[in-house]
Amino acid sequence: MSRFRYRWAAPGDVNAFFGLMLDNVADLLLTVSLLYLVCGFPVTFALQHLVPGTAVGVLVGDLLFFALAFRLARKTGRDDVTAMPLGLDTPSTIGMVLFVLSDAYRVGQAQGLDAEGAARYAWHIGICSIFISGLFKLGCTVGSGWVRRTVPRAGLLGSLAAIALVLISFLPLVDVLHNPLVGMAALAIILTALTARIPLPFRLPGALGALLVAGAIYYLMRGLGWMEVEELTFDPADGLLPTGWWEAFRFEWLGAMGRAVHYLPVVIPFALATVVGGIDCTESAAAAGDDYDTNTVIGIEAVATLAASLCGGVIQTTPYIGHPAYKAMGGRAAYTLATALFVGGAGLLGYFSYLYLVIPRAAVFPILIFIGLEITAQSYFATTRRHYPAIAFATVPALAKLVMIYVGPLLPLLDKPLAQLDATQATALHTVQMLAAGFIVTSLLWASALAALIDRRLLRAAGWFAVAAVASLFGVIHSPFPSERMFWPLQRVDGAWRLLDFSPLGVPQGQTPYHIAGAYLLVAGLLAIWWWLARPIPIEGDHDAQAHP
């Protein structure tokens, strides 16, 4: 008998590499550019200190997933196994920049530190936050397989579709339209080559072709003076062979652990979201034909995040939800190896500083749009037809998050707290803010409950609503705080335990977390009584005929 050999490299790996690599590069670009635009964070400091360790997380994680693909191929005897992709978590990138790093940088400035001192202060808090995230995710490896078996596919993939369609596809599209001649050209090439699967001339990979054509348009417009050129704020040579990240090995950042605790109510939900996302990704990969062990996938995610933090990284890594897209491209395992080496080299050798300077964001962000569309389509394809409403329902909380991403930064311009707004405006704004908070977990719970209802499993649906009640009591979902942080509902005042008072936040009467938890419990109780009175016969399996009488 011939010995089994895994075909770990295939022509499709070229397309998959450019897709995954550009996805990670796009997140690195987003991190550095957002920090500079939001709070004036020094670009050179970010390139020297933040980027290298963040890239190490991608290096470690993708190498481990490369090895894991070999193990699955040997176990199954299949030579078409596609490695799980890993990269920087896009929602966490936005959240860490807006709610942790930028805030910590401003705190450092308020303490009288200069730009570099404030940047180092924020960097240390960012390292602590990601270190704790890694430990949290490591602890979650024990129960991840049970979650995958318990939560219906509509719940797992519904929350996945919500992120993919509403955020990963929409937000980059806005940046694309900031420079439409460049961005739309790249988007058209990406969708034609990768979604419609019409090959480019000379069999050029779609992602690379989009970058080359859109980049040529960008620099032609710059040469002709048809577009405004941003002023250079740093010397890219300063980012070569960065040494600043070595300071992380002094472990001075451990001294910031106490201050970082203040940000944990923001950080932990993002870590939890990546755990849920990792489970989603494993389910998505299984639906595409590659059945990885959930605990192992979450464990690798945790190890990669811890490796990033120990090297000075500030953005957590996560399995990417694009496995079906990369498999559709014909990728095997070589693309993760190539991505690990390229992104790791970009951070550790420092040539990312030139990528930051040279690559137009409008030319690279369309790859994120493609990934988002592909995951959304796969979420529906891999779910039984009768559960389609549950997947659609899961996108609603993400729509609220999308609104708050744009409305939230405008609130300080009102120059008055939420409590002083017009009552109707305040109620509407709070409702959207509440729905947006913890939207990934909300999407999972709502979709799971609706899928159970569609299957006529009323007690199971009641259980999901009961879980939502508990989650809302601690701010895991529907947190009333602008930062979306979690909270402890009881506080000790004058030696006595009392319920936390939300009135200073301007929470409308009847919309406190206690009312929301009560509403979920009421629904759970109604469903339990309904089950006791009607005893409906559950729908089994994936047969859809019973769902359409």
The DSSP secondary structure of 357-423, one letter per residue, reads: HHS-HHHHTHHHHHHHHHHHHHHHHTS-GGGHHHHHHHHHHHHHHHHHHHHGGGGGGG-S-GGGS-H
d(CA 58, CA 307): 9
Which structure tokens are listed for 540? 């089994």
CB 309 within 8 A of CB 260: no
Within 10 Å of residue 532's Cβ, how many Cβ atoms?
A: 10
| Half-sphere exposure (Cβ direction) of 413: Cα atoms closer than 13 Å | 5
The residue to which tokens 């430990």 are assigned: 135
Interaxial angle between packed helices 51-76 and 334-348, expressed in degrees from 0 to 180 and rounded to the nearest 10: 160
pLDDT at 338: 97
CB 126 within 8 A of CB 62: no
Beta strands in 338-426 (DSSP E): none
In this prediction, the residues of the chain whose per-residue pLDDT falls under 70 are: 1-2, 145, 148, 230, 232-233, 265, 269, 408-423, 425, 483, 542-549
pLDDT at 544: 54
d(CA 516, CA 525): 14
d(CA 18, CA 363): 13
d(CA 226, CA 205): 29
Q: Where are the domains of the chain?
A: 12-381, 386-541
Which structure tokens are listed for 116? 């570099």
258 Cα distance to chain centroid:
26
Note the pLDDT tens digit of each residue in 394-424. 999 989 988 887 776 666 555 555 555 566 7
Residue 179 φ then ψ, to 5°: -135, 75
Residue 535 φ then ψ, to 5°: 45, 60
Query: What are the residues whose beta carbons fall under 8 Å from the beta carbon of 380, sequence distance 6 or more?
Result: 161, 388, 391
Which structure tokens are listed for 126? 């960012």
Residue 496: its H or E element: strand 496-499
Which structure tokens are listed for 391? 């997947």
pLDDT at 167: 76
DSSP 482: T
pLDDT at 308: 97
pLDDT at 418: 53
Beta strands in 220-338 (DSSP E): 317-319
DSSP 229: P
